[in-house]
Structure 1
């Protein structure tokens, strides 16, 4: 699935936003700090924000993450004037007051227009998302970030809370992949799901990275895999085993289950708790399998490490078989049932 195919499933500002957040290149985490600030100002209905005010929210959000995980690959050498170097040096004073220091704010105002604000809408391959969410107007101290009607509508939409959660989850995943040790584990070995907490962890250290629902719902366009309705803010959400996990136990009683691990990411999908309860242990419908194949193909378009997890499933989860696509993989699982 290409980015164009993903967008075609929801040809809207939401689709463009998810393209930028979930499928854009991630050499650093600046786009997530920018996206968080955009949603926050949009939710307050502010159409025009002085660049300095916008940069304050942006840099504060980045510093809060910087104290937990690196915001660029640790192998990357940062110069003294690099924005991340300044952010690290000013983080303690910034967090103590709850406001960026003058030096940090000046660095953000100086770097944002020529760095993250030029790149947020860009995708890999020199393409851009169909919708834009802001523009920079004015010059010098009078520069203003103007939010577009698409961003304002998005920030007040039914899925706004979900979009913010998806962005936060993606930020957590990317920054963790930058960290030494755990990042290498995530990129080389993929992720593990802790069923006690529904958290994604790395396989080696079992350190929590982010929530499974938040990390995957965006690749389903924020919709239940079973009924295809929106996963609303007030809805109870469960994680569905699309092929029921009970199959593995059922086959244990008559021999051995010859299919792949059904407790893995490829088979797990956010769904309404009521839909999941009604579905129970039935096998997936053809429509549900098509949705799962599309969801997994979309994840394969995102940078590490969720993509790596699914690559490993395609490569080795079916004993003695090699498949190259998710429809083919799911047909093979059906044959094992």
Structure 2
């Protein structure tokens, strides 16, 4: 989702998914602006929505949203002032930049087009967006969006801008929540952050995982018990080695070593994160150590396997 200076893209992504899930092929910008603005005012009350020092003056859109948040929440709809500011800001800012990738051009598929005159703009949703919004992966996609939003908010709340992303994150094994290393506060769930990079599928059986319906566990692909038995130099209790799975599959796997197809899925999942602008990317880079220079997850996994089998 490009550079994370503000959280506008998360709010727009949420609004687009909701509209597409309702079967809308097109809708007035004014209508899309309502859930967009309300998402932001809900989040403003919980955490900063921009990196420190980037909100400039009382006319800045986030400043207006902050001023109008309490009344908008009371009404259940954005105030007229907030709605007007939203309709002015969206086409000029987030809707122009939504498809951009930081340092890598644009995503290959566009999710919408904006047409019409300035006072009557229409947002046309692409067939691809409408398809994915009602697919079996929709729930995990929404969970991933919320997870990314939470990670970026945490970096803003820490007052350290992007350094949360630069320093990586850790995992609280009691709650299976990703935590901010510096503040030791929970950020988001492991499953929500990573299931999208597994295409919404269990790493063990490769069948779909449906959040809210299936019982889900987080599997240590290389069993954590190996750490004590073999005195490994690689941390198996880290994000790179954790994968959402069906609870039943995880229970049946127990402490057995991963099979070749599971390792292949782990490599593909981690490479997908590394090739994305996801905030977990830096965490995986740190785990790779010297292998990061070559971007070699297969080599890293072979290195871990060699330590286990020596």
TM over 0.5: same fold?
Answer: yes
Deviation at 1:278, TM superposition (A): 2.0
| Secondary structure at the counterpart of residue 18 of structure 2 | helix
The answer to whether residue 214 in structure 2 is matched with residue 235 in structure 1 is yes
Q: Is the 8 A contact 2:52 2:161 kept in 1?
A: no
Identify the match of residue 250 of structure 1 among 188, 209, 229. Answer: 229
The answer to whether residue 25 in structure 2 is matched with residue 47 in structure 1 is yes
Q: What's the C-alpha RMSD, in Å, of the aligned pairs?
A: 2.3
Identify the match of residue 260 of structure 1 among 234, 237, 242. Answer: 234
Deviation at 1:212, TM superposition (A): 0.8
Greater mean alpha carbon deviation, residues 263-272 or residues 117-126: 117-126
Deviation at 1:261, TM superposition (A): 1.6
Identify the match of residue 297 of structure 1 among 260, 266, 271. Answer: 271
Q: Is the 8 A contact 2:224 2:236 kept in 1?
A: yes
Deviation at 1:264, TM superposition (A): 0.7
Deviation at 1:35, TM superposition (A): 0.7
Aligned pairs (5 A) from 1:256-335: 257-303=231-277, 305-315=279-289, 325-335=296-306
| Secondary structure at the counterpart of residue 239 of structure 1 | strand
* Paired position in structure 2 for 1:164: 142
Going from structure 1 to structure 2, the CA distance change for 1:205 and 1:264 (only over 3 Å counts) comes to: same
Going from structure 1 to structure 2, the CA distance change for 1:218 and 1:83 (only over 3 Å counts) comes to: same
Counterpart Cα distance in 1 of 2:159 and 2:123: 38
Structure 1 residue runs of 5 or longer lacking an equivalent are: 1-20, 252-256
Deviation at 1:164, TM superposition (A): 0.9
Once the two structures are superposed, residues 90-137 of structure 1 have per-residue CA deviations (whole angstroms, 9 ceiling, x without a partner) of 112212222111111111101111211112122233522222222212
TM-score by length of 1: 0.84
| Secondary structure at the counterpart of residue 284 of structure 1 | coil
Going from structure 1 to structure 2, the CA distance change for 1:69 and 1:303 (only over 3 Å counts) comes to: farther
Once the two structures are superposed, residues 179-201 of structure 1 have per-residue CA deviations (whole angstroms, 9 ceiling, x without a partner) of 23576763353212112221111
Counterpart Cα distance in 2 of 1:324 and 1:144: 43
Identify the match of residue 54 of structure 2 among 56, 76, 82. Answer: 76
Deviation at 1:283, TM superposition (A): 1.0
| Secondary structure at the counterpart of residue 228 of structure 1 | coil
| Secondary structure at the counterpart of residue 128 of structure 1 | coil
Q: Is the 8 A contact 1:176 1:183 kept in 2?
A: no
Identify the match of residue 183 of structure 2 among 196, 202, 205. Answer: 205
Q: Is the 8 A contact 1:201 1:209 kept in 2?
A: yes
Aligned pairs (5 A) from 1:37-186: 37-125=15-103, 127-181=105-159, 186=164
Q: How many residues are matched?
A: 307
| Secondary structure at the counterpart of residue 270 of structure 1 | strand
Counterpart Cα distance in 2 of 1:150 and 1:312: 35
Structure 2 residue runs of 5 or longer lacking an equivalent are: none
Counterpart Cα distance in 2 of 1:322 and 1:87: 42
Greater mean alpha carbon deviation, residues 237-246 or residues 189-198: 189-198
Once the two structures are superposed, residues 66-107 of structure 1 have per-residue CA deviations (whole angstroms, 9 ceiling, x without a partner) of 121111111324233221111112112212222111111111
Q: Is the 8 A contact 1:193 1:199 kept in 2?
A: yes
Counterpart Cα distance in 2 of 1:57 and 1:311: 35
Once the two structures are superposed, residues 267-289 of structure 1 have per-residue CA deviations (whole angstroms, 9 ceiling, x without a partner) of 10111222212222111122222
The answer to whether residue 197 in structure 2 is matched with residue 219 in structure 1 is yes
